[in-house]
Chains A and B, each alone.
Chain A
């Protein structure tokens, strides 16, 4: 195995070949906002929050899926990146119905954290106020599609860690939604083992445990750690 040296925001870093820019930044303690990335499952590069600039490349590169290379000069926080990130967060807020004050994940929401991080106080884009459904047919959990940001973390954790593949994405564009089973109510999907990994994987309050109320999703977030090592330790269910 070889080691690559590179700089992030002028800070020199040495890291193993095959690692991503995001890994390198984490190791060096340099924050890069992410939403669709979840430690322990594959990366899809969908939220575009982790985009960085690399000297000599005229495209922005997603840190979560770009492997490190020798001599890379990476910038994670240029004015252009800050502006684009803020816009991306505004676009996400305008797309769904994200009302923190009445959300189970208030104070424990990665979307909220990112909004604070990029300094978003309002959206310059029109709120769409979509009319999306809520599915509470499952005995223990529910999914509120209004709060879903389509990061597909639930899809991946269910498929790759639990091996059940209850979730997938249906439709395209603005009509996309997370679908359970063969487009059945969640409670009727026999493949679901009720393991709750999707609840932990969800960065917002879209998938929640029944009975939790405003700002109560807190406890679940700590179990995210579990997902990282679940596969290695053979803990398929809990």
Chain B
């Protein structure tokens, strides 16, 4: 396929589009609420009413407002229907002819939508994830064509560097720098790996991207392959994401069919094949060195760095490993330019970030916001605040992050500000807690998670998480003394400073941040003195 053919295909697809597109979400969240039944009845109603010449029903990916699914959205009117059932679905189609639609109509101007800035999720909920043609119609794969025919690998790396993009997998490592490092490593064989392990409890940003717009990720990986000199990519997805895996498989096949993936991409000398590897759902397999071991067929244990994967990664070859959302930013950076991209966000954190907003909050779901927005804007305006209550804290960064008290809600969301207040961006979980929530319970919840997910290789993490969990349990049972809190805090620092990989290094964060901001809750739970003495 060449550029003219690509553009012709896009044009042809666009002209085939009906004037009214009814988008029905078929992602995991809405499917669980029977959106496939909804879609079936929408199709039926179109047939019954004989509107097939101007109306088409399209199964699409996630629209973000998952708490209110199944969602149906209609273009070009931009009407949104929430909690649609198979029974009420038909009325939506009839309404196009002047009837009344039964399902609740959502407000697409609500701050939950209006305050978003959709770069990565631009086409999520609009594009049919199972048809490459639909992706191409929206300008897909033009960035890949552009790098192959108009740019050298060096200029691609340069473009990504100057966009200021930082890794979305949690650490925030500058993506351009990582690409430049792998590109400069000697060696004929290099690999690209896309990290779709997404093990944080409550996070589903990456799943949503893979389910809603898989070609966007594949395009980013192929561009990376060209930039660093790799001809083989792996995408590592956890087994708990069957729909994402199915859609990726389909997307890879379709890419090969059009000559966009595989040998001689767009008739150029560049080859790029992508294989899927399925993880068994261990959180630690999201850690890059463990993930590489897992792809190689070994036990998913982290290994000491250096050497970093950029130097010695998969099968000992230089390897670029980036997160799903990181790759999903690439095509846009190439298409619209680094300058455009770096105009979004703060000085040191560019672009947008997707969060999974959950917890005690009115509007749950996925949001994509520009870096630099405040937590208050997200929680109060977009999320609509706590139903009948007050925000007490916001947890970001999952088991590696921390709890931010309501008094710090004006903190801006960017890598460095969040670290400064003892939390972190993480992969994008954001849990809102109200006054009823016990912060010690929260700390114990995350510690229980880490205790169960530590690989067990290194002493501080394997044994430390067990001991920290038992300190927290003792406190919650009202059996602890002030000395226990001191011991626990000392152990937190030890585990943080001495663990082998990021899991152990960050596991104490939820405890340390709650100790920092909510110490009184710990103290209230201490064993009460009797006759002026603390019982032993």
Interface residues of A (CB under 8 A from B): 44-49, 51, 59-60, 62, 65, 83-84, 87-88, 91-92, 94-95, 124-126, 128, 149-150, 152, 168-169, 171-176
Contact = CB atoms under 8 A, between A and B. Distances in A.
A92 B456 contact: no
Interface stretch (B402-410, B490-498, B514-522): B490-498
A154 B237 CA distance: 33
B454 A48 contact: no
B54 interface: no
B487 interface: yes
A46 B498 contact: no
Contact of B304 (A65, A128, A169, A171): A65
B458 A91 contact: no
Contact of A174 (B282, B466, B498, B500): B466
Given A48-B460, A88-B494, A173-B451, 7 more contacts: A44-B457, A48-B459, A60-B497, A126-B467, A150-B456, A173-B454, A173-B462
B460 A88 contact: yes
Given A125-B467, A174-B466, A84 B457 contact: no
Interface in B444-475: 451-460, 462-467, 470
B497 A126 contact: no
A174 B459 contact: no
27 contacts: A45-B303, A46-B458, A46-B459, A48-B458, A48-B459, A48-B460, A48-B498, A60-B497, A62-B500, A65-B304, A84-B498, A87-B491, A91-B460, A91-B463, A92-B459, A95-B462, A95-B466, A126-B467, A128-B466, A150-B456, A172-B455, A172-B456, A173-B451, A173-B452, A173-B455, A173-B456, A174-B466
Contacts of A47: 458-459
Contacts of B284: 172
* Main DSSP-derived SS at the B contact region: helix
Contacts of A150: 456-457, 462
Interface in B242-301: 282, 284, 299, 301
Contact of A44 (B303, B454, B464): B303
Nearest to B487: A124
A92 B463 contact: yes
A165 B131 CA distance: 47
A201 to B, nearest CB: 17
B423 interface: no
Given A91-B460, A128-B466, A48 B499 contact: yes
Contacts, number: 92
A128 to B, nearest CB: 7
A164 B455 CA distance: 24
Contact of B467 (A48, A59, A83, A94): A94
Contacts of A173: 451-456, 462, 465-466
A45 B500 contact: yes
B467 A91 contact: yes
Interface of B: 282, 284, 299, 301, 303-304, 451-460, 462-467, 470, 487, 490-491, 494, 497-500
B474 to A, nearest CB: 9
A46 B500 contact: yes
Nearest to B464: A91
Nearest to B499: A48
Nearest to A123: B467
A128 B463 CA distance: 10
Contacts of A171: 456
A44 B491 CA distance: 23
Nearest to A47: B459
A207 to B, nearest CB: 19
Contacts of A59: 497
B458 A45 contact: yes
A237 B53 CA distance: 79
Contacts of B457: 44, 46, 150, 152, 169
Contacts of A62: 304, 500
B463 A95 contact: yes
A83 to B, nearest CB: 8
Contacts of B494: 83-84, 87-88
Contacts of B451: 173-174
B455 A126 contact: no
Nearest to A59: B497
A91 B459 CA distance: 8
Smallest CB-CB A-B distances: 4 pairs = A176-B456, A91-B463, A45-B304, A173-B454
B299 A174 contact: no
A154 B434 CA distance: 50
Contacts of A65: 304
Residue among B451, B454, B462, B464 having the largest count of chain A Cβ atoms under 10 Å: B462
Contact of B470 (A44, A124, A126, A149): A126
A91 B487 CA distance: 12
Nearest to B454: A173
Nearest to A175: B456
Given A84-B498, A87-B491, A95-B463, A172 B454 contact: yes
A115 B360 CA distance: 48
Contacts of B491: 87, 125
A106 B149 CA distance: 71
A60 B498 contact: yes
Contacts of B456: 150, 169, 171-176
Given A169-B299, A172-B455, A48 B500 contact: yes
Nearest to A58: B497
Nearest to A35: B459
A49 to B, nearest CB: 8
A212 B465 CA distance: 35
A149 B463 CA distance: 10
A51 B463 contact: no
A47 B464 CA distance: 12
Contacts of B460: 48, 88, 91
A82 B454 CA distance: 25
Contacts of A60: 497-498
A60 B224 CA distance: 33
